C-alpha cells in the first residue's frame, strides 16, 4: 500500500498528529484529506486501536469516522472503551457520535426517518466551541438510519436537524464532541470551519504540517515498487490512467513501460481510436488489444456469504447481477494482462501491473487496503479478488491509490498534461456494461404496491390530505411542517404522477450499499425543476426502498409499469446505448456544457412506457436515463439542475429530442438523485 504521503515536514519541525479511527465510512480518507489541508498530519487507524498505542505514538486528538454498522448490533465493530476517559479530545462523526452517546449511557435506535442528503440543521448552543463563528442554520450532509434517542449523561444537545433529530452532542470540559452529519464532505458547507474549530480552538494544535510534494512521494513509491521489473500499464484513456502513465514515464526509463489499452467492446463510440491518438500526443505508444468476445463470454468464480466454495457465474452476456458483471469484467482484464505478458515472452515474475486506481475505487469495493469495516458498495473492476492476490504478491503498482479525482487532475497539470486530457469526464472501466440495466423479469417484491401508493400520496398531497388517505400518516410522520407546506404548494400548483419502476439501482445509504427501486415522476406540463429536486431529496427519506428519483419526459405516464423488456448485454443493446451516449455527449460538447458537469452517465433501462395493458402490447422498447452529476471527489454530489447555468433547458431539450430518434427508445428520463442516496453510476 502506498506509504503515508508527506510523512515529514520540509522544515523538519515537530508537528501535531491526529488519529482517525476508521469505523468503515465511505469518507474516512476524505476526513484525512480535510485535516491534511488544514496542515495537520493525520493517520487513518483501525477502530480498535488502543489508547495506549494512541498515546505512545503521540496523537494529540482523535476523530472517529462514520460507518455502515449500528452501535447496538451484536457484531458492531470493537473499540477500546477507555478512549472516552483518556483526556484526549474526541470528535465523533455519525457512527462515531452514536458510539460516544452509547458510551455515556445514552441510546441509539433506528427511526422511521432516514436522512440521506444535504439537510438544514439548527445550532441550539451558539456558545458550543465546535460551532464558533457559524450562523444558527447550517446546510450539512446527513446519511444515517440510526439516531440518538436519549442523550448520554454529561452530554449536551448542541444541534438538531430539520426533522428534529439530534445533530450534535458535546461535553466542553471533557473536549468530547459528536456530530451526526459529515463535516468532511463538500455537501457540508462549513465543514472545514468545524474541523478548524476542533483542531485549533478546542485541541490547540499547531498548523505546521506541509506536504512534501506528493509527486516526489509517488516517484519514490514507483521506483521502490518497480525495481528492475517491467511495468505493464493498463490505460483506459481516462484521467487516472493517463496521469498514471505520465507519472510512470516521469519516474522510470520509458523502455520499462508497456502501455496497453483494452478495447473491451463496452467503450463509447470511436473511444479506443481517440484514446490511442491522444496518448500518442503525449508520447505514449499504446498496444490496443481487442477483446470483446473474452469479455462477452467471460465468467468468474464468486463465493456468496455462507457458501463453503465459490460458484461459477453465468457468462457476462447472460447475467443481470451488477456485482457479477463487475467481477467478471475485472477478472477478464487480469486474464488478458497475463495473455499479453506471455505473448510478449515476458516472465510474469519480471512484470508488475500498473493501474490508475483511486481512493474511491478502493473504498467502494471495501478493499481491506483502506478499511476493515466498510461495506461493499460496488466492486470496482480494478479491485477484484484476482487483483488483490496480485497486490499481496507485490505485483501491482498504483501510485494514485491515495488520491481523489480533483487531486489527480492537479497532478496531471503539474506533469504538463493538456487540459483536454486532464478535464476529461471519468468513464468507468466496465464502461457501457454497467450502464445497461439487464433484466429477465420485473423486480416487484411485496413492498411494491404499498410503495406505489405512498409515492402517489406524496405527489398528490393536497387531495390525499383532504380525503384523509389511509397511508397519509406515513408521510406526515416523516416530514417537517415546512416540508408539508411545500408538498401542499407543489401538489396544488400542477399535477405530478409518481410511478414506481420494477427495476433496481445501486445506491449508498448510511455508508451501506442499497439496491432499490426507481421512482419516475411525470407531468403533462413542463415541470418546475426546483420542485422536482425537492421531491427527489424528500421521497427516499420517506420511502427507504427508493434510492433513485427521475423525471420522465413525454407527459404523464398513463399506465402502471409491471413488466420489463428482456435485456442482457448484447450487440444490439450496446449499440442502442452507444448511439444515445454519443448524441448526449455531442450536444454537451457543441453547447459548451461539458466543463460545467463533472460526469454524465447515460444509462439504458429495460422499461417500455405507454403500453396499454388492454392491448397487450409486448414490452420490447427500452428507455434512456441522463445523469448529469456535479462533484469534486465523487464521494458525494448532486444532480445538475435543468435551467441552471450548468445545464440550460435548451441543451437538455435538444438531448431529449435527439435521443428519442434512436431506434427502440421509449422515453428519456432525468436522474434527480443526489449521492447519497444514489451513486454516480446506476450499478
Ligand X SMILES: O=c1[nH]c(=O)c2[nH+]cn([C@@H]3O[C@H](COP(=O)(O)O)[C@@H](O)[C@H]3O)c2[nH]1
Residues that bind ligand ATP (CB under 6 A): 234-236, 238-241, 260-262, 264, 355-357, 382, 426-429
Chosen residue from 60, 182, 289, 326 binding ligand X by CB under 6 A: 326
Q: How far is the CB of 515 from ligand GLN (least distance, A)?
A: 16
State yes or no: residue 79 binds ligand GLN (CB under 6 A).
Answer: no
> What is the C-alpha separation between 510 and 674, in angstroms, rounded?
14
Q: Is the dihedral of CA 342, 346, 352, 354 positive or negative?
A: negative
Chosen residue from 143, 236, 497, 523 binding ligand GLN by CB under 6 A: 143
235 binds, among Mg ion, ligand ATP, ligand X, none (CB under 5 to 8 A by kind): ligand ATP
Show the cell assigned to 74: 451484536
Residue of 41, 184, 276, 398 marked active site: 184
Q: How far is the CB of 218 from Mg ion (least distance, A)?
A: 16
Site for ligand X in 241-270 (CB under 6 A): none
Q: How far is the CB of 376 from ligand X (least distance, A)?
A: 11
Residue nearer to ligand ATP on the CB measure, 357 or 585: 357
Kindly list the distances between the CA atom of residue 585 and the CA atoms of 574, 593, 597, in Å, as whole numbers in the listed order.
16, 9, 11
State yes or no: residue 674 binds ligand GLN (CB under 6 A).
Answer: no
Instruction: Report CA 132 to chain centroid distance, whole Å.
Output: 31
Q: Which residue has the cell 465493530?
A: 77
Residue nearer to ligand ATP on the CB measure, 154 or 268: 268
**Is residue 121 within 8 Å of 127, Cβ to Cβ?**
no
State yes or no: residue 507 binds ligand GLN (CB under 6 A).
Answer: no
94 as an active site residue: the answer is: yes
Residue nearer to ligand ATP on the CB measure, 202 or 226: 226
**Is residue 497 within 8 Å of 672, Cβ to Cβ?**
no
Residue nearer to ligand ATP on the CB measure, 563 or 581: 581
Q: How far is the CB of 481 from ligand GLN (least distance, A)?
A: 24
Residue nearer to ligand ATP on the CB measure, 623 or 680: 680
Show the cell assigned to 492: 396544488
Show the cell assigned to 664: 427502440
Chosen residue from 361, 402, 483, 511 binding ligand GLN by CB under 6 A: 511
Burial group, residue 75, by CB count within 10 angstroms (0-12, 13-18, 19+): exposed
326 binds, among ligand X, ligand ATP, ligand GLN, none (CB under 5 to 8 A by kind): ligand X
Separation of first and last alpha carbons in the chain: 27
> What is the C-alpha separation between 106 and 152, in angstroms, rounded?
4
Q: How far is the CB of 108 from ligand GLN (least distance, A)?
A: 8
State yes or no: residue 70 binds ligand GLN (CB under 6 A).
Answer: yes
Q: How far is the CB of 339 from ligand X (least distance, A)?
A: 21
Q: Which residues bind Mg ion (CB under 5 A)?
A: 240
Residue of 94, 128, 218, 438 marked active site: 94
Q: How far is the CB of 591 from ligand X (least distance, A)?
A: 22
Q: Which residue has the cell 455502515?
A: 68
User: Which segments within 180-285 are labelled E, that is strand?
Assistant: 230-234, 257-263
State yes or no: residue 144 binds ligand GLN (CB under 6 A).
Answer: yes
State yes or no: residue 145 binds ligand GLN (CB under 6 A).
Answer: yes
14 as an active site residue: the answer is: no
Show the cell assigned to 651: 441543451
Residue among 370, 373, 376, 377 nearest 75 (CA): 373
Q: In what order do the strands lie in the sheet with 17-22?
A: 41-46, 17-22, 59-64, 90-93, 176-179, 166-171, 156-161, 108-123, 137-148
Q: How far is the CB of 529 from ligand GLN (least distance, A)?
A: 28
Which residues, in sequence order, are bridge partners of residue 177? 91, 170
Task: Candidates 275-283, 426-434, 520-528, 584-592: pick the segment binding ligand X (CB under 6 A).
Answer: 426-434
Interface size with ligand X, residues (CB under 6 A): 18
568 as an active site residue: the answer is: no
Show the cell assigned to 514: 442499497
Q: Which residues contact 456 (CB under 8 A, 6 or more apart)?
A: 464, 497, 498
Burial group, residue 369, by CB count within 10 angstroms (0-12, 13-18, 19+): middle
DSSP state for residue 198 in the 8-state scheme:
I
Residue of 15, 128, 144, 182 marked active site: 182
Helix (H, G, I), strand (E, B) or coil at 354: strand
Binding site for ligand GLN (CB under 6 A): 25, 66-70, 94-95, 143-146, 510-511
Residues involved in catalysis: 94, 182, 184
Binding site for ligand X (CB under 6 A): 326, 360-361, 364, 378, 380-382, 426, 428-430, 599, 634, 675, 679-681
Amino acid at each position: 500500500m502506498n506509504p503515508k504521503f508527506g510523512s515529514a515536514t520540509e522544515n523538519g519541525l515537530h508537528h501535531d498528529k491526529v488519529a482517525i479511527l476508521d469505523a468503515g465510512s465511505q469518507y474516512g480518507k476524505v476526513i484525512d484529506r480535510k485535516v491534511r489541508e488544514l496542515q495537520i498530519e493525520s493517520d487513518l487507524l483501525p477502530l480498535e486501536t488502543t489508547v495506549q498505542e494512541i498515546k505512545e505514538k503521540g496523537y494529540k486528538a482523535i476523530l472517529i469516522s462514520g460507518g455502515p454498522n449500528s452501535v447496538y448490533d451484536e457484531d458492531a465493530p470493537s473499540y477500546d472503551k477507555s478512549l472516552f476517559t483518556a483526556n484526549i479530545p474526541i470528535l465523533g462523526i455519525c457512527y462515531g457520535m452514536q458510539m460516544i452517546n452509547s458510551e455515556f449511557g445514552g441510546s441509539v435506535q433506528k427511526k422511521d426517518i432516514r436522512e440521506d442528503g444535504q439537510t438544514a440543521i439548527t445550532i441550539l448552543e451558539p456558545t458550543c466551541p465546535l460551532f464558533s463563528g457559524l450562523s444558527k442554520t447550517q446546510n450539512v450532509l446527513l446519511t444515517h438510519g440510526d439516531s440518538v434517542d436519549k442523550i448520554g449523561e454529561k452530554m449536551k444537545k448542541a444541534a438538531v436537524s430539520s426533522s428534529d433529530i439530534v445533530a450534535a452532542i458535546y461535553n466542553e470540559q471533557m473536549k468530547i464532541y459528536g456530530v451526526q452529519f459529515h463535516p468532511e464532505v463538500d455537501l457540508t458547507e462549513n465543514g472545514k470551519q468545524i474541523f478548524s474549530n476542533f483542531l485549533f480552538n478546542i485541541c490547540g494544535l499547531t498548523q505546521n504540517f506541509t506536504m512534501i510534494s506528493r509527486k516526489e512521494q509517488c516517484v519514490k513509491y514507483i521506483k521502490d515498487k518497480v525495481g528492475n521489473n517491467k511495468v505493464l500499464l493498463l490505460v483506459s484513456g481516462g484521467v487516472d490512467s493517463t496521469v498514471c502513465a505520465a507519472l510512470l514515464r516521469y519516474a522510470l526509463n520509458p523502455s520499462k513501460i508497456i502501455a496497453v489499452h483494452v478495447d473491451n467492446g463496452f467503450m463509447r463510440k470511436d473511444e479506443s481510436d481517440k484514446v490511442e491518438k491522444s496518448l500518442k500526443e503525449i508520447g505514449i505508444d499504446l498496444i490496443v488489444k481487442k477483446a470483446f468476445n473474452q469479455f462477452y463470454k467471460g465468467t468468474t468464480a464468486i463465493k456468496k456469504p455462507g457458501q463453503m466454495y465459490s460458484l461459477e457465474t453465468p457468462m457476462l452476456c447472460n447475467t443481470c447481477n451488477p456485482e457479477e458483471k463487475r467481477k467478471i469484467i475485472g477478472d477478464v482484464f487480469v486474464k488478458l494482462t497475463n495473455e499479453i505478458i506471455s505473448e510478449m515472452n515476458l516472465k510474469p515474475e519480471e512484470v508488475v501491473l500498473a493501474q490508475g486506481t483511486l481512493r474511491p475505487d478502493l473504498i467502494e469495493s471495501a478493499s481491506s487496503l483502506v478499511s476493515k469495516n466498510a461495506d461493499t458498495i460496488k466492486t470496482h473492476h480494478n479491485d477484484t479478488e484476482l487483483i488483490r492476490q496480485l497486490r499481496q504478491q507485490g505485483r501491482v503498482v498504483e501510485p494514485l491509490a491515495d488520491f481523489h479525482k480533483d487531486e489527480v487532475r492537479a497532478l496531471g497539470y503539474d506533469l504538463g498534461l493538456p487540459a483536454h486530457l486532464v478535464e476529461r469526464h471519468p468513464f468507468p472501466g466496465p464502461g457501457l456494461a454497467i450502464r445497461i440495466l439487464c433484466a429477465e423479469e420485473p423486480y416487484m417484491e411485496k413492498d411494491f404496491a404499498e410503495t406505489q401508493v405512498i409515492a402517489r400520496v406524496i405527489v398528490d398531497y393536497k387531495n390525499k390530505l383532504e380525503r384523509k388517505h389511509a397511508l397519509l400518516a406515513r408521510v406526515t410522520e416523516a416530514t417537517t411542517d415546512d416540508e408539508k407546506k411545500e408538498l401542499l404548494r407543489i401538489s396544488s400548483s400542477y399535477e405530478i404522477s409518481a410511478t414506481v419502476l420494477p427495476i433496481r439501482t445501486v445506491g449508498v445509504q448510511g455508508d451501506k450499499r442499497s439496491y432499490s427501486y426507481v421512482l419516475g415522476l411525470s407531468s403533462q406540463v413542463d415541470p418546475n425543476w426546483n420542485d422536482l429536486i425537492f421531491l427527489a431529496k424528500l421521497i427516499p427519506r420517506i420511502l427507504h426502498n427508493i434510492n433513485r428519483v427521475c423525471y420522465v419526459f413525454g407527459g404523464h405516464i398513463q399506465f402502471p409499469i409491471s413488466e420489463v423488456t428482456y435485456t442482457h448485454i448484447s450487440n444490439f443493446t450496446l449499440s442502442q446505448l452507444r448511439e444515445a451516449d454519443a448524441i448526449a455527449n455531442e450536444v454537451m460538447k457543441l453547447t459548451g456544457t461539458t466543463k460545467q458537469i463533472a460526469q454524465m452517465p447515460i444509462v439504458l433501462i429495460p422499461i417500455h412506457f405507454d403500453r396499454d395493458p388492454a392491448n397487450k402490447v409486448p414490452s420490447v422498447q427500452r428507455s434512456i436515463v441522463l445523469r448529469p452529476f456535479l462533484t469534486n471527489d465523487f464521494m458525494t454530489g448532486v444532480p445538475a439542475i435543468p435551467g441552471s447555468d450548468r445545464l440550460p433547458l435548451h441543451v437538455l431539450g435538444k438531448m431529449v429530442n435527439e435521443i428519442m430518434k434512436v431506434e427502440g427508445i421509449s422515453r428519456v428520463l432525468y436522474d434527480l438523485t443526489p449521492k447519497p442516496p444514489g451513486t454516480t453510476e446506476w450499478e
